[in-house]
Structure 1
């Protein structure tokens, strides 16, 4: 199912019993810079509006907040094994194999990555900004899935979601230097460079053993397609958040 408030990645669309979605900025009730479908709890938006937006989003699958495990993200590399619906603190990736439980991350330029292991009905939702990418959060998440659930990356399907694109993600040279040379390029301004978050995270999936044919990259950008997605950088920090979720029911 598709509607204007979310998109289901093509790679997951035909899998029975799998919920996977990335929200857009459409279809909610928030106003001003948060218009309209802000799903970010930790913003200065009206909490009642955010709660209603999240209720509507989860209701697409007849679910509620009690069915969602998420965390206040800190741009780190900690991963939580989710056992129940909850809101925790300090984790930037969540994994589970519990039927009916969604795991989710919020983004507004950073990269959301969703992973499904069909052999073990296990899933992961990962929030990866430049720090998480450099820290190898995707690699670590797949390794923990293997330890916890017996996941073999060769069987996994993965989606590298909508984030800031390489044409707009300008960083300092010292940040860019932490990326592989083929995932960075000089900017016109001295001491600056552009880096490719999507491909850098996809590289970690490939290196872990996920086949190229089982990886989908979002064709969208939070900056270039800002009418459909929130961008923290473009909107100078005063904006909403998208939510990317996945779970096997």
Structure 2
């Protein structure tokens, strides 16, 4: 999918949306930016991370602001305290969990949320079975193949076939800015093509390329995979970055849901 199909929405709570997914209006998918919220420095301003030192009341209000701007029901969200693992939850009702780094559902008006500040969100849509998935893919989740496990879970639960799915790799830290130790880059999930030499024996790891490769290996068609063209580290004016800001920063949310019939265009 061409990157110029990614559209940025400017308003009270800017967010970006993939060019793919449900062109008939069945699906709403987006990733928030850092603008339009209530949080002060260092979380300014649309911080959606409950695992930060920001006031939880502001975080909840920020989600309401985003939901109103984007057109989803904030009371129907599914989230988790993410642990960089590969546990996948089949979500059937809203709620906040712990220990899950991926969700799947075929329930309408249920909004799967992945929270990031350098890790990649990967959103998946199966138009045949009208099912969706969302995964939190940092280096650990990527090394453990979380996107493949999410697709497998969708197959088990809904009969989803990877070749029928569409996938969006959202904004995270880019390969040009993500320096890691050689032992991380040497993980089996990261072949030579996913990393470049860095300083003093380190490597520059391209998580986007690694997740794209894993989607292809799982059977998703190349033309059905889209990558966001931004970098959380480099594009400071738009996104939070845990690495750039030394951990004192907010979180974006990547959200995907199946619109209820009454809310479709």
TM over 0.5: yes
Change (3 A) 1:176 1:60: same
Q: Is the 8 A contact 1:65 1:85 kept in 2?
A: no
1:178-205: CA deviation from partner (whole Å, max 9, x where unpaired) = 1111111211223x11110001001111
Gaps of at least 5 residues in structure 2 are: 1-6, 260-265
Distance in 2, matches of 1:103 and 1:7, equals 16
1:66-101: CA deviation from partner (whole Å, max 9, x where unpaired) = 211111100011110001010000000011000111
For 1:94-243, list aligned pairs within 5 A. Answer: 94-178=103-187, 179-190=190-201, 192-243=202-253
Distance in 2, matches of 1:59 and 1:67, equals 13
User: Which residue pairs with 1:3 in the alignment?
Assistant: 10
2:60 pairs with 51, 66, 69, which one?
Answer: 51
SS of the aligned residue for 2:20 comes to helix
Out of 8-17 and 219-228, give the one that drifted further.
8-17
User: Which residue pairs with 1:34 in the alignment?
Assistant: 43
Q: Is the 8 A contact 2:134 2:150 kept in 1?
A: no
SS of the aligned residue for 1:34 comes to coil
Q: Is the 8 A contact 1:115 1:125 kept in 2?
A: yes
Distance in 2, matches of 1:239 and 1:13, equals 33
User: Which residue pairs with 2:3 in the alignment?
Assistant: none
TM-score by length of 2: 0.91
Out of 2-11 and 56-65, give the one that drifted further.
56-65
User: Which residue pairs with 1:248 in the alignment?
Assistant: 258
Gaps of at least 5 residues in structure 1 are: none
Distance in 2, matches of 1:9 and 1:28, equals 22
SS of the aligned residue for 1:60 comes to helix
SS of the aligned residue for 1:147 comes to helix
Q: Is the 8 A contact 1:83 1:96 kept in 2?
A: yes
TM-score by length of 1: 0.96
How much does 1:60 deviate? Answer: 2.8
How much does 1:118 deviate? Answer: 0.4
